[in-house]
């Protein structure tokens, strides 16, 4: 193959003249955890492709994320949308119901708009789990969100 032709989805993004525009929609609830994920996501996006244009939209809570995903998908030319939030279980099923509704909504929006929607709205049992996944542990979900977004954009441009 020619050196100028992409040989993989990842390379197709690098050969694209169009810089990826990634919209991050992040919950303000459980801000210390979400803010850490947001920072990791932005840093990793810049590391993976320095041309990446990042737009951040904050919403009060995780349940508001799907509405903003829909509005961004309808009104903007984002290459991908990353949803960031942290839901911590309490004594009732409320957190599980919210997480399930968000999961279904994000999947349906991704399919309806043929747009990568990266789901990093975490449902966790306690703050210790949030600390490990969001702030200082081996499971940095913000980094994974960025990598998933760039990979999904590359794959869609490769098709």
pLDDT band at 42 (very low <50, low <70, confident <90, very high): very high
* Half-sphere exposure at residue 115, Cβ-oriented, CA atoms within 13 angstroms: 26
Segments making up each domain of the chain, as ranges: 19-158
89's tokens: 């279980």
Q: In CATH terms, is domain 19-158 a member of 3.40.50.960? A: yes
Is the CB of residue 92 less than 8 Å from the CB of residue 59?
no
pLDDT band at 159 (very low <50, low <70, confident <90, very high): confident
Predicted TM-score (pTM) above 0.75: yes
- Is 76 catalytic? The answer is no
Distance CA 97, CA 132 (A): 23
């Amino acid at each position: 193959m020619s050196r100028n032709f992409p040989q993989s989805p990842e390379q197709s993004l690098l050969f694209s003249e169009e810089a990826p525009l990634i919209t991050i929609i992040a919950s303000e609830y459980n801000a210390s955890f979400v803010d850490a994920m947001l920072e990791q996501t932005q840093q990793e996006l810049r590391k993976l492709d320095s041309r990446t244009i990042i737009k951040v939209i904050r919403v009060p809570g995780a349940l508001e994320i799907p509405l903003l995903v829909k509005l961004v998908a309808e009104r903007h030319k984002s290459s991908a949308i990353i949803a960031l939030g942290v839901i911590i279980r309490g004594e009732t099923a409320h957190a599980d119901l919210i997480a399930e509704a968000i999961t279904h909504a994000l999947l349906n929006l991704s399919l309806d708009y043929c747009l990568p929607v990266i789901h990093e709205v975490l449902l966790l049992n306690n703050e210790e789990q949030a600390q490990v996944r969001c702030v200082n542990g081996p499971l940095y979900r913000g980094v994974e969100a960025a990598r998933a977004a760039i990979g999904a954009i590359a794959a869609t441009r490769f098709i």
